[in-house]
Amino acid sequence: MYNPQLPTDGTPANSTPSLNAGAGVFGNNAERNSNERIKHLLKSFGLRTSLIRLKVIDALLTAAQNERSLGVRGIHSQLLELDIPLSFLSVREVLKRLCSEGVITLNADKSYSLHQKATAVLDGQI
């Protein structure tokens, strides 16, 4: 039976890992680990995982690490810079939903940040 994954010339298949084993379609391992943390966060709040939720929360985490605050326009701009084509309205609706579920908070200056409980979940305290 023909197996397209095996060489046809009788030589053994190359078992060495490729140079891009950790990269590729899903990005590097650090990004995947970050996504797993965010997926756990969403699950702990009873929310489904979606690409837009992952990206919005990741943008907020990045801004917090850089000691910056972002509003809707800032998050939307950051996602566009990363070649993530999401509409402004989609970003705004996701932020509103995450606020209503208590994952993030809307600050007095119209910027968003992770709620303390969400931060505790990400840090493994809950």
* pLDDT single digits (tens) 5-33: 555 555 555 544 444 443 433 344 455 55
Q: Tell me what pLDDT residue 6 has.
A: 55
Q: Tell me what pLDDT residue 5 has.
A: 56
pTM summary value: 0.71
Give me the CATH topology for the region 30-122: Arc Repressor Mutant, subunit A (1.10.10)
Q: Tell me what pLDDT residue 10 has.
A: 55
User: CA 42 from chain center: how many Å?
Assistant: 11
Q: What are phi and psi of 61, to 5 degrees?
A: -65, -45
Burial level of 121, CB count in 10 A (0-12/13-18/19+)? buried
Handedness of CA 50, 56, 62, 67 (dihedral sign): negative
Q: What mean pLDDT comes out for the span 47-66?
A: 93
